[in-house]
Amino acid sequence: MIVEDAGSTAAGAAVIDQTSGQGFDLVIRAERALLPEGVSRAEIGVKDGRIAEIAAGSSLTGAVAADADIVEVDETQILLPGLVDTHVHVNDPGRSEWEGFDSATRAAAAGGVTTIIDMPLNSLPPTVNVEALDVKREVAGPKAFVDVGFWGGAIPGNTADLAPLHEAGVYGFKCFLEDSGVEEFPPLEPEEMRADMAELARFDGLLIVHAEDHEVMASVPKGPGGPKFSDFLATRPKEAENVAIARVIEAARETGARAHILHLSSADALPQIAAAKAEGVKLTVETCPHYLVFSAEEIPDGATTHKCCPPIREEANREALWQGLIDGTIDCIVSDHSPSTAELKLLESGDFGSAWGGISSLQLGLSLVWTEAAERGIDLAEVVRWMSSAPAAVARVENKGSIVVGNDADFAIFAPDEKWTVSATELYHRNQITAYDTRTVRGAVKSTILRGAPVSFDEPQGRLLTVR
């Protein structure tokens, strides 16, 4: 039976009886859609949460259910794949006053992020065995407004837990080579890191590394702390990153394991990274919005909202990181959303030495990076690749990160030319403090679609993901 309904407006597409159980249940018509082959006018048919057909520059050929939802994306906006953020500290359970799955995943959705992978530390217990993973999943499941996966942790003494965690579905394993900031997640010695890589190589696991070298850090005078950002920067020199990254490269070369460098801030490490990749070492690298937006020279003394580890470095370093993205040495951009309470940031004293190190940006990443990229003549398609398909590829998150048939129907509708000013008090982050407060940015996420349904900020609809 032909039904004259919303679906009948799809040119050239049959409309079938909704009782047949056939036909697209969502149709998106976009004057501009970011497809793998480029930006094009497109119609996209969605069935059961998956992309079932893409008609670039034409109309869908498949049937449209009589009760199908129709989304129109006008010429001032662009349809993007949902972003994939593989570096998020949700801190839940145990430190949910810092953040939580309900607040973090709302913030993600508001920023066009449809998939996050949660870090194994700052929550209690840390995700260093299957029992702890089960606890985290139990907490996350009822609260997730976007899809959520999990990293496991590699700490001294848990090598035997790595394979079971992998079998339980974590995407890889995080370790530190320097103090993590929380006592329940101690760092690995270089030989322990190599031993864990050898174990991961058996099942093609991934080690993701906070690469600051303990020996270098221990040799640097710490000083009295205080409000001067330059004093804090001197305590975490580039050499600490460069030496640690060299250790990671050597261990990956020897074991054949996959390794990933987290939150690269030292551009001095780019030549050795490029050489290792050219050699065939299984190495990937990320950086973060704060290293691409800020420079050390502009951070006011006492502005502990800007403290992170490794730290924000000089302007020349920032520009070199951008070049590392352009030439492919750096693979992707992720948030390293690492929030805390305002009290832990010591906003009144401004003591960089004692304040918690972490920057809140989960809701803001796309607008922040696009603002800076546009000023450098970088296309939006490249920004989205760095923030969607590339992190999905690094972590091997299936069916995410690009608008292709068979992928989950995850989208962000983005107004790339709209300018707005960040107000920390209007963010979904549990603690509404951020280094980006009052910053004017370009590009606004207008709506987010998760597996074919608009994200509801009242009813969680996210799923828990496992690696396959």
CA pair distance 51, 21, nearest whole angstrom: 17
360-410 tens-digit pLDDT: 999 999 999 999 999 999 999 999 999 999 999 999 999 999 999 999 999
- What domain range is 39 assigned to? 24-75
Half-sphere exposure of 18 (CA within 13 A, CB side): 12
8-36 tens-digit pLDDT: 333 323 332 333 457 999 999 999 999 99
Amino acid letter for position 364: L
Neighbours of 140 (CB within 10 A): 25
Q: What is the pLDDT of residue 19?
A: 34
Residue 406 inside a domain? The answer is no
Q: Are residues 46 and 110 in the same domain?
A: no
Q: Are residues 252 and 377 in the same domain?
A: yes
Residue 453 inside a domain? The answer is no
Q: Are residues 31 and 97 in the same domain?
A: no
Q: What is the pLDDT of residue 224?
A: 74
Sheet holding 113-118, edge to edge: 83-88, 113-118, 147-150
Enclosing H/E stretch for 107: helix 101-110
CA pair distance 117, 87, nearest whole angstrom: 6
Q: Are residues 71 and 97 in the same domain?
A: no
Q: Are residues 243 and 359 in the same domain?
A: yes
Q: What is the pLDDT of residue 330?
A: 99
Q: Are 196 and 207 in contact (CB under 8 A)?
A: yes
Please count the structural domains in the chain.
2
Q: Are residues 70 and 187 in the same domain?
A: no
Half-sphere exposure of 2 (CA within 13 A, CB side): 5
Rounded to two decimals, what is the model's pTM?
A: 0.95
Q: What is the CATH number of the domain that holds 258?
A: 3.20.20.140
CA pair distance 215, 254, nearest whole angstrom: 22
Q: What is the pLDDT of residue 21?
A: 54
Residue 412 inside a domain? The answer is no
Q: Are residues 264 and 285 in the same domain?
A: yes
Residue 4 inside a domain? The answer is no
Q: Are residues 42 and 166 in the same domain?
A: no
Query: Three-class SS of residue 121?
Result: coil
Beta strands 206-210; 258-261: pairing state: parallel
Q: What is the DSSP string of 350-416?
A: T-TTTS---B--TTTHHHHHHHHHHHTT--HHHHHIIIIIHHHHHHT-TT-SS--TTSB--EEEEEE
DSSP secondary structure letter of residue 16: E
Q: Are residues 45 and 93 in the same domain?
A: no
Neighbours of 150 (CB within 10 A): 26
Q: Are residues 297 and 364 in the same domain?
A: yes
pLDDT per residue as tens, the chain (468 positions): 122 233 333 332 333 233 345 799 999 999 999 999 999 999 999 999 999 999 999 999 999 999 999 999 999 999 999 999 999 999 999 999 999 999 999 999 999 999 999 999 999 999 999 999 999 999 999 999 999 999 999 999 999 999 999 999 999 999 999 999 999 999 999 999 999 999 999 999 999 999 999 999 999 988 778 999 999 999 999 999 999 999 999 999 999 999 999 999 999 999 999 999 999 999 999 999 999 999 999 999 999 999 999 999 999 999 999 999 999 999 999 999 999 999 999 999 999 999 999 999 999 999 999 999 999 999 999 999 999 999 999 999 999 999 999 999 999 999 999 999 999 999 999 999 999 999 999 999 999 999 999 999 999 999 999 998
Q: Are residues 220 and 273 in the same domain?
A: yes
Q: What is the pLDDT of residue 376?
A: 98
Residue 165 inside a domain? The answer is yes
Query: Three-class SS of residue 156?
Result: coil
Q: Are residues 155 and 53 in the same domain?
A: no
Nearest to 169 by CA among 148, 139, 187, 196: 148
Query: Three-class SS of residue 128?
Result: coil
Please say whether the dihedral angle defined by the alpha carbons of residues 10, 457, 338 and 294, taken in this order, is positive or negative: positive
